[in-house]
Every structure is written in C-alpha cells, then in structure tokens.
C-alpha cells in the first residue's frame, strides 16, 4: 500500500472496493479485519460489466484483484449476495488468482456451476451452499444471509460481524411487499439487527435520485398480461435472463391468453433450468425450443428471449436484423423490452429498436408502460432501511459517482451521523471509531479478450481503438548484402482513404534512398526512419498519423 495520509489506527474493520463504486456493474468489495500488517480478508461479490464503445473487441470487463491475490493466504473466502452477472460473472475468470472457497445460496450456486463448467473449474472451486437466512462462519467472520427482494431469486443482504465491529452489506435490494417468489424482505430480522447495533451500512445507491417506492413485480405482471391479451400477432418479451420473476410473469401472461412459450437464447435456457432445479418455475408448464416457433399460429406464441441490452449476438438483436436462423417477426407483432437500459448500452439498444421499427414491429418499453420495475430502492425505501438498521455510518455503493454523492447527502439529511463516498481502491475504516479514508491500493480493470484475460490500460483494446481512428500501414523492405533494396518496398494499408497508399510508398522509398549507407546496416534504424517518414507524409496529406509497422529483412 502507498499511504494516502498517515492516520493512527490499530486493529479495525476496513472496506476496500475494487469495483462497483462510481460505476454500474463489476461489483467487488473486500472487508479486512485486524491491523494493517495482519488483516484477514473477506471478499463480497465478484462481478463483471460489459465492454463499451471505447473498448473494441471487449465484451466483458473485470475488476483487477491483484492486491487481494497477493494476499490470498489471508483471504478467508468469497461470499456472493445473489446471482446477477455484475455480482458473480467474474468468478470463473478470476478465481484462479484467488483459490478461495465460495459461499452462496442454492440458486446462485446453480448458475455459478454452469459458468464453472464452461471454464473447466467445476471440480476445483469449493462452493458452500448456504440456505436462505443461514448463519455461517468464514474464517473469524460471523456472517448471516438476510432475505431481501430484488429482481432475481434468493437475493440477500449480508450481515458481517467481526471482533472489531458489525457491518450490514445490503447487496442489491428493494422493498416489494408482493413478490412473485419467496417470503420477501425479512423486515423482522432487519429490525432485530438494528436493535443489536450496526456500525456501518454499505448500501445500494442505484435509485437514490428517485422519490417514493419502486413498483411491485405484480404490477409489472398485470401490465404484461394486458399487453399480451390485446395482441393480435406474435408477442416477444426480452428481459435479463436471470430475472426469473419476470420470466414467471411473462409465462403466466402467456398461459392466461392461451399462448405457448418459446425460449430463445442460451442464457435464458440455462436460467430456466437452474430455476426449476431450485424449485422455481415448476408450475410454468412446458417450454418450447426455437425450432417450434415457425409451426405455431401467430396468436398462440409468446417468445422469451435474451438481448434486452442490445448485445449484438443475442436473440432479439439477430431477430431485429432478420438474421435469426429459426425466428422471424413481422408487421403486427409486438416486442416488449422488459428491462432498464444499463448506462453505456443506449446506442446498442436504440439500434435494435430501430431495426425492429424497419420491420414495422411495435416496440413497447418502460417509457411506454409499466413493463419493468427496478430491483433497487428509491428514497422512501432507503428511509425505511435506515430506520430499521439505525446505522452509525453509511457508505454508498453500486452506483455512478452522482448516485454515490447523492446517497451520502441523502443519508446525512435522514440523520445518519457519518457518510463517506468510496472510490475503487480507497481503503476505508468502518469501525471502531470514525468512518474515514485511511489508505489506497493500486486497482483497475481487466479485459476479457476472447478467451484471454488481458490488461485494460495498455492492452490490445487500446491499440484497436487507435487503429479505428487513424488506420494502420504495414511496410516490408528486403535489403541485400550491400544494404540496398533487393526488391520493391511492399505496402499494405487498412483504414486509410483510397489513393493515399502510393503517396506513402513514395515517402518510404524516398526516406530509404536518402539514408547514408552506414545507417542502413542497422535494421532498427532503417525501420524507425521509414516509420517516421510515412507518418509525416500521411499527416501532411491527410491530417492524421496512422499506426505504422515496418519489417526489415536481409536477403
């Protein structure tokens, strides 16, 4: 660690976010108990976020966990609060660096096991399945899963007790008094925990800017049923594959209207299988595969598919491009986008909407009707949680910078004595004593590039981004034993305007001809001279300097 500021502190409970603060996604929070030189670490969640336009070729972004990996002998375990990708998606990619036991509920374990199998890790990772509401120990930490409601089954807040203090890590949550599955949020237990004393609440911030309460899933279900009932043609519902309650709502709407349910997308099928194995969706009836789609009357189909975030290879994206091998929609059909667009995905989602519009298909989004309810708390829900837990301090998490700042201000207005905005890599003392930043560690991002995990800062995405803006030029020179050109200079240009190639070739040959013979003896000198000349010529003609690669061979 590099000390940010020197502060006298002995044994304490600290929090170190490595992802999930200042961003939506990539959640990874580490808690440390003990003194600075002898901390026992506990990791909570290990998620991903999706690649952005500035990261070409990158589908998945991971938190850099190298700090904890270096201290993995003191890492007691990884606890997963629920099964969303932004909380468990990083496990198969990063577990080999951590090699620690994993703790989660049955449904999260079922989805995680699918991912571990794909990576050949299912026999290596020790997954401890904890029942809903279960109490368990990880190292010296006494932990408890407390039931909350969210947009996926078996979501839990995590009570963390150490000999240095007590913390409630909220996970993702909302207050839904009428959930589709389960008993709902455990208000009684939360009140009991508050009476026992909570030093700090680490709390979801996603909807802090919105007043009131989040709508219930049953309200969404009623809206979807009305839309399906009034539809004359096919109906497609695209949502997060992991949103089992939404899947159940769509299925019940289909059954109420005499429609068969077709599943499209591997993630959707995997989630349905995991849900049924854990006791959910057992009354949903039979699901049909994609091949059945074309054989059903148009008013007897409800399609459940992936791609609500505009992912280019997902089912609804391919359907919108009329490129899906088994499924086609047409005029008179309806597509319901039963999700919220994650910040950063707006362009991709808009493209799918527009492609569907070109096919004269009706698109219904959350802007048009109550077809989606957030799984995160609004202000009135936050007030209730504060009242139940009565924390001495609040640390906002799971949100962009504006959400975190607004949450800290809101908490203080609600009477919480201390609130501090975290930053990834910022080490914060939670208790005992005052909430404060005491140190910082190096952290960042990693990219999943195909099948490989690569650095984000100086990795291949940086070169691709540069190449996408200025193009690339390849030149090959063959020199004889007298250091003259043995053949014509070969040139290949990608991403440059037509007609520029000849000008750059002249510049390369001219630069070589003017080189003194002694300088031609060194391949590196030859390559750098040509590279500079070509880039300078491109800048003079085009106004841009392309990436330039020069290969020198001796014959």
Q: Write the Ramachandran bin of 112: left for phi over 0, alpha for psi from -120 to 50, otherwise beta.
A: alpha
Kind and range of the H or E run holding 117:
helix 106-118
Which tokens is 382 given? 């936050």
Domain-terminating residue out of 295, 330, 364: 364
Give me the CATH number covering residue 483: 3.10.20.580
Q: List pLDDT tens digits, range 244-292.
A: 999 999 999 999 999 999 999 888 998 999 999 999 988 888 999 999 9
In a shared domain, residues 109 and 184: yes
Residue 195: CB atoms within 10 Å: 11
Predicted confidence at residue 241, as pLDDT, reads 85
| Nearest Cα residue to 40 out of 184, 219, 164 | 164
Q: Are the CB atoms for 239 and 266 separated by under 8 Å? A: no
Predicted confidence at residue 212, as pLDDT, reads 96
Residue 529 falls inside a structural domain:
yes
Domain-terminating residue out of 455, 481, 507: 455
Q: What's the domain count of the chain?
A: 3
| Nearest Cα residue to 309 out of 377, 365, 245 | 365
In a shared domain, residues 129 and 96: yes
Residue 3 falls inside a structural domain:
no
Predicted confidence at residue 2, as pLDDT, reads 47
Q: Sorting pLDDT into bands at 50, 70 and 90, what band is 180?
A: confident
State whether residue 270 is helix, strand or coil. helix
Residue 31 falls inside a structural domain:
yes
Domain-terminating residue out of 400, 424, 455: 455
Instruction: Tell the residue number behind the tokens 């068969």, with chain if given.
Output: 260
Predicted confidence at residue 249, as pLDDT, reads 94
Give me the CATH number covering residue 266: 3.40.50.10710
Q: List pLDDT tens digits, range 26-69.
A: 999 999 999 988 899 999 999 998 877 778 888 899 999 999 99
In a shared domain, residues 60 and 188: yes
The rounded distance, in Å, linking the Cα atoms of 8 and 429 is 11
Q: Sorting pLDDT into bands at 50, 70 and 90, what band is 201?
A: very high
- What's the mean per-residue pLDDT of the chain? 93
Q: In which domain, by residue range, is 493 found? A: 471-554
Q: List pLDDT tens digits, range 485-526.
A: 999 999 999 999 998 999 999 999 999 999 998 999 999 999
In a shared domain, residues 96 and 238: no
Q: List pLDDT tens digits, range 398-416.
A: 999 999 999 999 999 999 9
Q: List pLDDT tens digits, range 303-353.
A: 999 989 888 889 999 999 999 999 999 999 999 999 988 777 888 999 999
The rounded distance, in Å, linking the Cα atoms of 195 and 210 is 28
């Amino acid at each position: 660690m590099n000390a940010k500021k020197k502060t006298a502190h002995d044994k304490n409970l600290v929090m170190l976010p490595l992802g999930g603060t200042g961003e939506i996604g990539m959640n990874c929070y580490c808690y440390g108990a003990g003194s600075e030189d002898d901390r026992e670490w506990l990791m909570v969640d290990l998620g991903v976020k999706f690649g952005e336009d500035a990261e070409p070729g990158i589908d998945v972004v991971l938190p850099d966990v190298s700090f904890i990996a270096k201290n993995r002998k003191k890492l007691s375990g990884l606890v997963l609060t629920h099964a969303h990708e932004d909380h468990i998606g990083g496990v198969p990619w990063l577990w080999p660096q951590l090699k620690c036991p994993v703790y989660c509920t049955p449904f999260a374990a079922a989805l995680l096991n699918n991912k571990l199998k794909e990576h050949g890790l299912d026999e290596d990772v020790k997954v401890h399945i904890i029942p809903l509401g279960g109490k368990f120990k990880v190292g010296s930490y006494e932990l408890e899963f407390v039931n909350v409601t969210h947009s996926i089954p078996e979501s839990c807040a995590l009570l963390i007790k150490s000999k240095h203090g007590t913390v409630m890590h909220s996970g993702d949550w909302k207050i839904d008094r009428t959930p589709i599955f389960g008993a709902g949020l455990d208000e009684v237990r939360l009140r009991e925990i508050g009476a026992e004393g909570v030093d700090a609440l680490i709390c979801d911030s996603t909807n802090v800017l919105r007043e009131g309460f989040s709508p219930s899933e049953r309200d969404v279900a009623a809206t979807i049923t009305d839309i399906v009932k009034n539809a004359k043609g096919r109906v497609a519902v695209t949502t997060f594959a992991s949103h089992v309650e939404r899947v159940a709502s769509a299925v019940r709407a289909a059954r109420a209207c005499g429609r068969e349910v077709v599943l499209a997308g591997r993630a959707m099928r995997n989630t349905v299988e995991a849900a049924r194995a854990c006791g959910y969706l057992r009354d949903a009836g039979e699901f049909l595969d994609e091949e059945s789609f074309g054989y059903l009357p148009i008013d007897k189909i409800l399609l459940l598919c992936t791609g609500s975030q505009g992912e280019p290879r997902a089912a609804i994206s391919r359907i919108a491009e009329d490129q899906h091998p088994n499924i086609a929609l047409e005029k008179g059909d309806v597509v319901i986008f039963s999700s919220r667009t994650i910040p950063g995905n707006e362009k991709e989602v808009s493209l799918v909407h527009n492609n569907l519009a070109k096919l004269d298909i009706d698109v219904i989004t959350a802007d048009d009707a109550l077809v989606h309810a957030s799984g995160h708390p609004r202000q009135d829900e936050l007030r209730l949680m504060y009242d139940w837990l009565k924390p001495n301090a609040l640390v906002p998490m799971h949100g962009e910078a504006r959400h975190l700042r607004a949450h800290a201000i809101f908490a203080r207005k609600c009477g919480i004595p201390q609130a501090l905005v975290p930053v990834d890599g910022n080490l914060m003392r939670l208790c005992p004593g005052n909430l404060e930043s005491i140190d910082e560690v190096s952290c960042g991002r990693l990219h999943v590039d195909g099948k490989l995990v690569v650095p984000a800062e100086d990795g291949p995405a940086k070169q691709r981004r540069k190449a996408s803006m200025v193009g690339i030029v390849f030149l090959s020179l063959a020199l004889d034993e007298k250091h003259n050109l043995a053949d014509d200079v070969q040139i290949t240009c990608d991403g440059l305007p037509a007609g520029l190639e000849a000008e750059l070739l002249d510049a390369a040959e001219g630069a070589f001809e003017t080189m003194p013979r002694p300088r031609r003896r060194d391949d590196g000198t030859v390559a750098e001279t040509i590279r500079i000349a070509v880039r300078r010529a491109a800048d003079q003609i085009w106004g841009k300097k392309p990436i330039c690669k020069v290969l020198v061979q001796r014959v």
